[in-house]
Structure 1
Amino acid sequence: MEYEVLATPGEIDFAPQSTLAEILQNVRTILTTPKYSVPLNREFGVTSTWLDDPLPVAQARLTAEIIAEVQRREPRVRVTQVTFEGDAQEGILRPKVRVRLVEQLEQLA
């Protein structure tokens, strides 16, 4: 089963009700944290170096970075799809990431 995570800031639940809720919250945190903004872990998050690139280039760079960062920071899931919503005219590019639990992938193999 795949789960969709939208890169929108939200409240942090310090005691998630399930492992799945914890994993999805972790992915959302990765997506919404700008790199270099975490004082003791400057490498955590996603960079915004693509900010002034043309839309197709920005989407490609951001997709690659999201996949790599989620793999590194949350090994319990694999990214299966990255799409974007937002308004190109307004300069809004919000990633929507689909993930699958690694346990489920192992069961399929």
Structure 2
Amino acid sequence: MPIIRYRYHYGNTYLKRGGLAERTSALIQDRVRFTYDEGVHILPFRGFTKASRDHSNLPHVALDGVTAITYDPMAMSGWIELPKRPHLAVIYKSCVYLVLDDKGLPVAY
């Protein structure tokens, strides 16, 4: 199961499916910042979805602040650094889901 490192202001938060990874504390809790309709919004992060799924009926948003991803369950190693750019996410039931490609990496927005 992937874990992402999410940058918010001056600190990092670690998020997995369902929200915060174990032993992670953050002022923003499991919330992430994204751009949609030329505005910045914040909603809870709830996990991942595959790019191969049909997301045509869901709002597509630009998720800012995802800096790395790992598949290590303890989030201690195996971090893959990601380029500084927004990544594609979708909104479903007022929660944000990061879209992953067939290699398990976030899709660029």
Whether these two folds match at TM > 0.5 is no
TM-score (norm 1): 0.33
TM-score (norm 2): 0.33
Higher helix share: 1
The structure with the largest alpha-carbon Rg is 1
